[in-house]
Amino acid sequence: MTTILYIEDNEDNIFVFMRRLSKKGYDVIIAHDGEAGISMARSERPSLILMDLDLPVVDGWEATRLLKASPETSHIPVIAVSAYAMAEDRRRALDAGCDDFISKPVDMKALGGFQREVQHHEAHEIDRLSRIALENLTGSEVLALDRIASLAKKLKDLNSAGVALRAGTQAVRQNRNITV
């Protein structure tokens, strides 16, 4: 299931977002301030973060800067959700590293079409996990993989040799009119 982390201190917003996004099939986790949001982003690795900007402890701009500065979380798309809806506010959010901006009040019918952002995250996760898998191979596993690769090559050579042999045999039979 696709997980969205919603960092928001307003319970009414949490309630409506939770309901809407759950209905859309997302698994929604909540953090009530920027600091809790950052640690949840690290531990839960959500596919997307919806970030309120006016937040206690660490505000949304700073939380976004910190998330984008850390290689662990920098790829997670962050969408600012804010009542600060002027062009200037939008720019400030994008400058902090937000990938997009949704202004409050939010059009609940439109909320939840995050396929592009989620795909971006998932492609990155697959990449990351395969890198970890490769890095964690033991010496003997690496040798085994090499051996498999060389056996596969031999098998391919043997197959081509088999094809050539059959073709040759057939040619000889035709020439000399050999019957079996």
Find the binder of Mn ion among 28, 41, 52, 61 (CB under 5 A): 52
C-beta separation of 47 from 23 below 8 A: no
Among 15, 22, 44, 54, binds Mn ion (CB under 5 A): 54
Q: Which among 59, 103, 58 has a CA at the least distance from the CA of 84?
A: 103
Give min distance, CB of 134 to Mn ion, in A: 42
Q: What residues have CB less than 8 Å from 50, skipping those under 6 apart?
A: 4, 5, 6, 7, 8, 17, 79, 81, 102
| Binding span for Mn ion by CB under 5 A among 9-17, 68-76, 105-113, 167-175 | 9-17
The residue length of the chain stands at 180
Q: How far is the CB of 52 from Mn ion (least distance, A)?
A: 4
**Least Å distance between CB 92 and Mn ion?**
15
Is residue 157 classed as helix, strand or coil in its secondary structure? helix
What's the CA gap between 100 and 105, in Å, rounded? 16
Distance CA 75, CA 47 (A): 9
Q: How far is the CB of 59 from Mn ion (least distance, A)?
A: 9
Stretch that binds Mn ion, among 31-39, 49-57, 88-96, 128-136 (CB under 5 A): 49-57
Q: What is the per-residue binding string for Mn ion in 131-160, x denoting contact by CB under 5 A?
A: ------------------------------
Q: Which is nearer to Mn ion, 80 or 118 (CB)?
A: 80
Contact between 56 and Mn ion by CB under 5 A: the answer reads no
When CB distances to Mn ion are compared, the closest residue is 54
Instruction: For 6, list phi and psi in degrees, rounded to 5.
Output: -110, 115
Q: Which residues bind Mn ion (CB under 5 A)?
A: 9, 52, 54
